[in-house]
Structure 1
Amino acid sequence: METELFYVPERFFDAHQELLQKLPSIEDYGKKPLVTLEKALEPLRPLIDNFEILPWTAKSIMRQPTYDLNYDEAGAIYLYTIWRSKEDQTIPSQLNKALRSGERNRLNAWSSYLHLLVVALNKLPPMRGTIWRYGRGDVTNNYQKDCIWLGFSSCVGPMSNVTNQGKDSVYTVFEIKCINGKAICNYSEFPQDDEVILMPGTRLRVMRKEDLTTRLKKIYLQEDENQLLAKPSAWSLPIDITYRTEQDFKMTIMQPNGEIKSLQSSSKCFGIEQDVLDNIFDY
């Protein structure tokens, strides 16, 4: 049976944009009170495509949030995954550009949404396992020892359906042993992406590198336990949150007829199969 292929947004292929340097302090934003999703997005009106419909869309679809997330928090994650034809005007594109710039003034407009998104992600249980991220071009020379990824890093799990990226381009595959990934397919516009997010300021150790082909390079990374971003308590989380340790969760999918379909899924990761790589890179 052929694997059905889906378009994968550019955020899964932007590892080459990382500057691999220390993150400017953003903990101050966590001291502000949480606001609704509508208020959090208001300063972003000039930056984001189709701004007016985003909050309503997210809250309408996120009708059954889990892990004690409210509608605003679940909606913040969902909006991060929404695809638009103007990719450079999506939330992940603009937010990660601001985070990677190292300029605090570029983050000012994002402070309320950033706060809401981080609180939401920190309510999800940490995921340990193997995940993958991609970069355009051969960036192996940039990774010698340790590195820091400044933005929200969108990675894929082993259940991801990904599109063929063409025959003529060069890519770098990052295989990451993570200890604090955030599996968000329960809150994604595209659950089939099996998206796992690494938080801003994630420290990684380079374990080894290899050339798979002339066009496909691979870097093996191990997530460091010492991260730059503040722990959840510094982001004004409610004190009655209970973190779950199990990795199974229900995937909620909106059907064309408006009904909600729930599937039992698992965020446990296994080694990626060769046919998965073949689906990404036709080499």
Structure 2
Amino acid sequence: MTNDIKVDYESGFGEGFNIIAGPCAVESIEQMERIGEFLSKLGIQIIRGGAFKPRTSPSSFQGLGMNGLKILKDIKDFYGFKVISEIMDPRHVEEAYDYIDIYQIGSRNMQNYSLLTEVGKIDKPVLLKRGMSATLEEWIKASEYIKMEGNKNILLCERGIRTFESYTRNTLDLMSVPIIKKKTKYPIFIDPSHGTGRKELILPATKAALVLGANGVIIEVHPEPEKALSDGMQSLNFDEFEILLDEIKRLRQLISANQ
């Protein structure tokens, strides 16, 4: 069986374990310049940043919108990153085309079929996050809306599901990794930031994702998480992110040595 997905090295998705990093939300050009410089020095190829923020409360920070995308493009052009950012509205798909390289469809929009249909018409990768109450089968079916419009460059992202457990923000379903790999040919990513909601759990969750064979992770990084306008509790500061990279590098070497 051939793989429908063209793993596009030019988009930053290569073999091995891909780490996407950046803030939950684009807050200012100054913030993104600090993060861009830091991630660039570490060799990160893909930067994330939310311009449109679907928040539980309407009074919470909703993002900078198109101004946020313009800031992301400035950082992308200066440092040579590829950019991934969430799009919430079908009307924004075409508007965002020149600003981002990978479209992200968030958990709340996993079954927004009008939006899935629109991103299915573009020629850029789409990362589809699992809905917080969605079964694996519903998630896979949602991806077919994108594929049926002609876009087969789909990536899936497990970001935790809602259960009765309240210690973590969500319950990270790590078993989705081998199941998705068995049932589809799509690359599978893990979001340990949203999946746990607790920064101290991001490293162990990332290690588990690597061992299980995930294609990569999406991690929230902020220079001052305590001042972040959204999701500061689940964001790593610069020192913490460097520790994570070192730990993952050692684990990859250990895995390679025993294969």
What TM-score comes out, normalization by structure 1 length?
Answer: 0.25
Relative to the length of structure 2, the TM-score reads 0.27
* Structure number having the greater helix percentage: 2
- The structure with higher relative contact order (CA 8 Å, sep 6+) is 1
Larger strand fraction of residues: 1
* Higher radius of gyration, 1 or 2: 1
